[in-house]
Chain A
């Protein structure tokens, strides 16, 4: 019993309680409520974890660490732990899940029970990814998230859902296999899969570090996705149901950037310094490319999907600035992107439920008839394009500041930050383009004349997101406070390296 009541076990596996209940439920209504309540309790547990968390401490906290099994002399541990690098992502997962579930109230009418079941399973996998401290356990969670997401896209998705689901699955798998090889190498060579121990041991020769780094990076870069490995993303997003897109953009993609942060940088610090310019180059290309391609989309959802590539480029750039500003900004930007892009996908979902189209030229002048929807969209768009005073700016600014500072460090050039900052202009271009096409101008399409403004439930979904958009934008101190000690420690780890 004590084992079950460990906070980290509870926050990870509590959704399974809902899954168990759901197995005995046939009706749609109760299934939705069970799922929502389960995820809300999980969010409560996450807040409890937050209360137990000591921000002053850099290392892992609330650890659960047991022998799991041995395999011909190599020990696999069941090890969970939380620190400043992961706590915000755990909270984000627990926060976005109930919001996504609430968004399915009318959007998912088909086989509701199964949908909710997969959704809760997905939450288990995601939280596990952010908490696992044993490479093998991490890999299990990492792969596990694929299964529910595969079904969420494959069953409840759009027209080409099978194509998208398989593509999503295969691409992630392809990268994962390289990571698996690297994990096995590490475990066998280091005698353990326990990450803190591997970090402490260090001692991996620099040339091997590079190979291992690249193997891990393959998995993570596909997940992020970094240019040019992004080809699965537009398919997955466009086909996924709204809630799936929210979680996909909001949390699943962060598993990639988190992987860089948790494994690539501390496990292979020399390689991280050495390869930082490469990573930053890909990141900057992604920022500009994603923004340009986004501008040319006619499908709103695809536009938002490509904007993710641009935004996550900022995150990767910040990570490989390898200084406090860059990394702290990157972590915050993961949260920001989860909130803003999650909100954007919800917004796209609202209009899709009403009009069953996402083509920009079908809209125009919606402000007049849907003012609440318009204002909320405007705020979220501004957050996404980094308006100061809203959350996106704080993340982007600190990332760019870090990247600029890294010109005298691992990056070696101001060009990265300067080109990335151009992305801020391009972001304004595609976001305003979207906003204008949807909301401004005269209302010309007769089909839009009788659209209803957001319902109370829809507003209720958006309000928590808006609260964080303003809170992080105006007073990010508590958020930075949670991560500061861990970030400082991480930077110190790579700091002295050439």
Chain B
């Protein structure tokens, strides 16, 4: 190992760099030989790489327990060191980072396995089987970057992972780079990818500013040193405000909060396993992790809590309202993710770090499940609609070639579904587990974590509690709407009619995640708070156990059940019959529904207020200012023509035969080219020589007469 003896903490801890190396090896292996070895090999290598990272994370978990939760720093390599600035490739193993490692590699491994099955079909529907390898290279790269993010011991290493996962997100959103989100050839996906990268870059700008401020007020970026400086009160109040608000900007980018959330729904252009892993379970929670990680800074000023918590709560409610008005099965889940991230940010914002982290983990379970489940639904409908490969041989409707009507059919549109409950029972039942968890029905996992957040909110600020409860109500409602539309009623398309259950590689991860979504909540059972106490080792005095309030628990359960009942009244009782008919809400509350369906026109507002003006400004600067004014007019007209005018005037009377002679002589010497020669003879060198001459004369004059 590369670790030096002096800093080697020994035991399993020294294994920590392997959480990055294993996925890196996996991707390199596939890069080198994947193409030749075929899909089985690729999928196995990639899944194994993620699985080994999980094994290391588990080993770290046990080592940490044996170490009584005491944090361990594992320096690996120097990185940037100039003067007093020093940030290294240093890993940190503590209860917070290990929690994240377990989630990332655990869910990551399951999704690798799922993707091994899912992408087999996807690459064939997109008619590009070679893309299979590329997908798993990206996916392993993502795990490596995410591990860097959660295991770094300083803000700069965290930032490497932070932007690194952003890159993977860009690559994977644009995975089908020559198509649009509906699967037809186009540029839609590439725009979505670019949008994600740029929105995140805006957030990263905030992160960088926070890092600069942090370093110059604490002279370090290492977590403990920074926190120590903040807690000792050396850091001025303005600097804490600056650090936290800049960091919050970073969080709104990565964790899709107001105002930068707009990239996440579009990110659903990526293949479904990507949506599950990156855009629901892990990457987007990085912002929540960042705040929890920086707890001592965020908790050092009370007023900061308000700002962060309201950003989170506002996002939770706003995004939930949009989710109600969507038809795309993944878009509903996407806005739901934005909304749930809002819950987490609100929680860590209030200072309820353990509750926020708890919801992060639970959400990783059930939202990964829901996305993977939606992928299974989409695949089932697509396979029903337009069978390929072995499906086609069994299909009765062999005449359904995709060219007839294939591209007009959107297998993600819930209006095209219906009645899938009986056709894909495994997918249905696992999906139900996720939906109940997300809706917050006890004893499913989401109930426990959301309940903690609501309880803390009630203690923190009643209006915040009300906003979050409203968001929770909408959550249960849009999930109810989705379940009725997708799984109940009668099939509304041929694809739904002939939907096919997915293969075991796809279903197995669903079953595991369904189990976690059902029972995960017991990880932090009220009163016991095992999970909380585990994090307490890291959070120290900033940890508090959330008390269990019957009125909050019963209230939120009642709200959730009521929401589901309302959704049944609207969507379940009289199921939608045709693809075309209006949504019942559209008839009942047309104005409101239009807003929710149009995502409150935020994209359009950004387009008009920011994107277009920047394009116009750039075009103006480029064409008018830089080119026509500065290049063509000032330089070519004023300067050049003026210069030639003056030199011609000077050259006539002062035309020294000597200079001409030298110039021509030089020209002959250098005569490689007739073109060059002709230029030399137009007087260019002569003018130059003249100017040098004038310069030298004036200098000499100055020296003699001064």
Q: Which residue of B lies closest to A429 (CB)?
A: B198
Rounded to whole Å, the gap between the CB of A14 and the closest CB of chain B is 23
Residues of chain B lying within 8 A (CB to CB) of residue A388: 156, 159-160, 162-164
Q: Which residue of A lies closest to B688 (CB)?
A: A173
Q: Does B62 contact A (CB under 8 A)?
A: no
Task: Choose the segment among A127-135, A246-254, A416-424, A451-459 that binds chain B (4+ C-beta atoms closer than 8 Å).
Answer: A416-424
From B80, B156, B617, B623, give the contact of A476 (CB < 8 A): B80
A439 near B618: Cβ-Cβ < 8 Å:
no
Contact indicator per residue, chain A 378-421, by CB within 8 Å of chain B (1) or not (0):
00001000011100011001101100110010000000011001
Q: Please report whether the interface of chain B is mostly helix, strand, loop or mixed according to DSSP.
A: helix
Q: State the CA gap A325–B215 with chains docked (Å).
A: 12
Max chain A CB contacts within 10 Å: which of B85, B174, B691, B703?
B85
A231 near B178: Cβ-Cβ < 8 Å:
no
Q: Which residue of B lies closest to A367 (CB)?
A: B177
* CB-contacts of A481-498 with B (<8 A): 484, 487-488
Known A-B contacts A177-B692, A401-B212, A436-B194; A394 and B80 likewise in contact (beta carbons under 8 Å): yes
Q: State the CA gap A324–B212 with chains docked (Å).
A: 15
B675 near A422: Cβ-Cβ < 8 Å:
no
Q: Which residue of B lies closest to A480 (CB)?
A: B82
B81 near A477: Cβ-Cβ < 8 Å:
yes
Residues of chain A lying within 8 A (CB to CB) of residue B703: 188
Residues of chain A lying within 8 A (CB to CB) of residue B189: 440
Known A-B contacts A155-B675, A293-B622, A476-B80; A440 and B177 likewise in contact (beta carbons under 8 Å): yes
Rounded to whole Å, the gap between the CB of A108 and the closest CB of chain B is 14
B672 near A151: Cβ-Cβ < 8 Å:
yes
A421 near B209: Cβ-Cβ < 8 Å:
yes
* CB-contacts of A141-172 with B (<8 A): 151, 154-155, 162, 165-167, 169-170
Known A-B contacts A475-B79, A477-B78; A177 and B208 likewise in contact (beta carbons under 8 Å): no
Q: Which residue of B lies closest to A364 (CB)?
A: B187
B77 near A162: Cβ-Cβ < 8 Å:
no
Q: Does B228 contact A (CB under 8 A)?
A: no
Q: Does A184 contact B (CB under 8 A)?
A: yes
From B190, B209, B615, B634, give the contact of A436 (CB < 8 A): B190
B167 near A382: Cβ-Cβ < 8 Å:
yes
Known A-B contacts A440-B174, A441-B187; A293 and B194 likewise in contact (beta carbons under 8 Å): no
From B160, B174, B205, B691, give the contact of A177 (CB < 8 A): B691
Q: Does A329 contact B (CB under 8 A)?
A: yes
* CB-contacts of B170-216 with A (<8 A): 170, 174, 177-179, 185-187, 189-191, 193-194, 197-198, 201-202, 204-205, 208-209, 211-213, 215-216
* CB-contacts of B657-706 with A (<8 A): 670, 672-673, 675-676, 679, 684, 688, 691-692, 695, 699, 703
Q: State the CA gap A393–B187 with chains docked (Å).
A: 29
A contact residues, range = 35 or more
Rounded to whole Å, the gap between the CB of A216 and the closest CB of chain B is 15
Residues of chain A lying within 8 A (CB to CB) of residue B83: 323-325, 328, 488
Contact indicator per residue, chain A 440-452, by CB within 8 Å of chain B (1) or not (0):
1111000000000
Q: State the CA gap A296–B628 with chains docked (Å).
A: 14
Contact indicator per residue, chain B 609-644, by CB within 8 Å of chain A (1) or not (0):
000001101110111001000110011000010010
From A151, A173, A296, A329, give the contact of B622 (CB < 8 A): A296
From B186, B215, B216, B688, give the contact of A441 (CB < 8 A): B186
Known A-B contacts A421-B205, A440-B178; A155 and B167 likewise in contact (beta carbons under 8 Å): no
Residues of chain B lying within 8 A (CB to CB) of residue A387: 163-164, 167
Rounded to whole Å, the gap between the CB of B570 and the closest CB of chain A is 40
Q: Does A107 contact B (CB under 8 A)?
A: no
Q: State the CA gap A266–B236 with chains docked (Å).
A: 35
B209 near A166: Cβ-Cβ < 8 Å:
no
A398 near B80: Cβ-Cβ < 8 Å:
yes
Q: Does A26 contact B (CB under 8 A)?
A: no
Residues of chain A lying within 8 A (CB to CB) of residue B215: 401, 404-405
Residues of chain A lying within 8 A (CB to CB) of residue B191: 436
B81 near A480: Cβ-Cβ < 8 Å:
yes
Q: Does A277 contact B (CB under 8 A)?
A: no
Known A-B contacts A155-B675, A422-B205; A442 and B179 likewise in contact (beta carbons under 8 Å): yes
Q: Which residue of B lies closest to A291 (CB)?
A: B618
B672 near A424: Cβ-Cβ < 8 Å:
no
Q: State the CA gap A474–B79 with chains docked (Å).
A: 7
A231 near B635: Cβ-Cβ < 8 Å:
yes
Rounded to whole Å, the gap between the CB of B149 and the closest CB of chain A is 11
B82 near A432: Cβ-Cβ < 8 Å:
no
Q: State the CA gap A378–B695 with chains docked (Å).
A: 49
A428 near B197: Cβ-Cβ < 8 Å:
yes
Q: Does A111 contact B (CB under 8 A)?
A: yes
* CB-contacts of A312-365 with B (<8 A): 323-325, 328-329, 364-365
A296 near B621: Cβ-Cβ < 8 Å:
yes
Q: State the CA gap A184–B189 with chains docked (Å).
A: 61
Known A-B contacts A432-B194, A442-B186; A154 and B675 likewise in contact (beta carbons under 8 Å): yes
Known A-B contacts A162-B679, A293-B621; A441 and B691 likewise in contact (beta carbons under 8 Å): no
Residues of chain A lying within 8 A (CB to CB) of residue B622: 292-293, 295-297, 306
Q: Does A368 contact B (CB under 8 A)?
A: yes
A425 near B78: Cβ-Cβ < 8 Å:
no
Known A-B contacts A166-B684, A480-B80; A173 and B205 likewise in contact (beta carbons under 8 Å): no
Q: Does A234 contact B (CB under 8 A)?
A: yes
Q: State the CA gap A441–B188 with chains docked (Å).
A: 8
B695 near A181: Cβ-Cβ < 8 Å:
yes
Q: Does A123 contact B (CB under 8 A)?
A: no
Residues of chain A lying within 8 A (CB to CB) of residue B204: 424-425
Q: State the CA gap A454–B387 with chains docked (Å).
A: 37
Known A-B contacts A296-B622, A401-B85, A441-B190; A425 and B80 likewise in contact (beta carbons under 8 Å): no
B695 near A180: Cβ-Cβ < 8 Å:
yes
Q: Does A191 contact B (CB under 8 A)?
A: no
Known A-B contacts A111-B672, A162-B679, A325-B82; A293 and B216 likewise in contact (beta carbons under 8 Å): no
Q: Does A289 contact B (CB under 8 A)?
A: yes
Q: Does A114 contact B (CB under 8 A)?
A: yes
From B162, B186, B618, B676, give the contact of A292 (CB < 8 A): B618
Q: State the CA gap A201–B213 with chains docked (Å).
A: 38
Contact indicator per residue, chain A 117-137, by CB within 8 Å of chain B (1) or not (0):
000000000000000000000
* CB-contacts of B209-234 with A (<8 A): 209, 211-213, 215-216
From A111, A165, A397, give the contact of B80 (CB < 8 A): A397
Contact indicator per residue, chain A 179-202, by CB within 8 Å of chain B (1) or not (0):
011001000100000000000000
Rounded to whole Å, the gap between the CB of A320 and the closest CB of chain B is 17
Q: Which residue of B lies closest to A180 (CB)?
A: B695
Q: Does A228 contact B (CB under 8 A)?
A: yes
From A111, A329, A424, give the contact of B208 (CB < 8 A): A424
Residues of chain B lying within 8 A (CB to CB) of residue A476: 79-80
Residues of chain B lying within 8 A (CB to CB) of residue A393: 163
Q: Would you give 9 A-B contacts (Cβ < 8 Å), ordered by A?
A: A167-B640, A293-B622, A296-B622, A329-B82, A389-B160, A404-B213, A404-B215, A424-B204, A476-B80
Q: Which residues of A contact B (CB under 8 A)?
A: 111, 114, 151, 154-155, 162, 165-167, 169-170, 173, 177, 180-181, 184, 188, 228, 231, 234-235, 289, 292-293, 295-297, 306, 323-325, 328-329, 364-365, 367-368, 382, 387-389, 393-394, 397-398, 400-401, 404-405, 408, 417-418, 421-422, 424-425, 428-429, 432-433, 436, 439-443, 474-477, 480, 484, 487-488
A-B pairs, top 7 by smallest CB distance, nearest first, are A440-B190, A296-B622, A324-B83, A441-B187, A404-B212, A442-B185, A388-B160
Q: Which residues of B contact A (CB under 8 A)?
A: 77-83, 85, 156, 159-160, 162-164, 167, 170, 174, 177-179, 185-187, 189-191, 193-194, 197-198, 201-202, 204-205, 208-209, 211-213, 215-216, 614-615, 617-619, 621-623, 626, 630-631, 634-635, 640, 643, 670, 672-673, 675-676, 679, 684, 688, 691-692, 695, 699, 703
Contacts A292-B621, A401-B211, A408-B216 given; 10 further ones with Cβ under 8 A? A114-B672, A289-B626, A295-B622, A296-B615, A297-B622, A364-B187, A365-B178, A439-B177, A440-B178, A441-B187
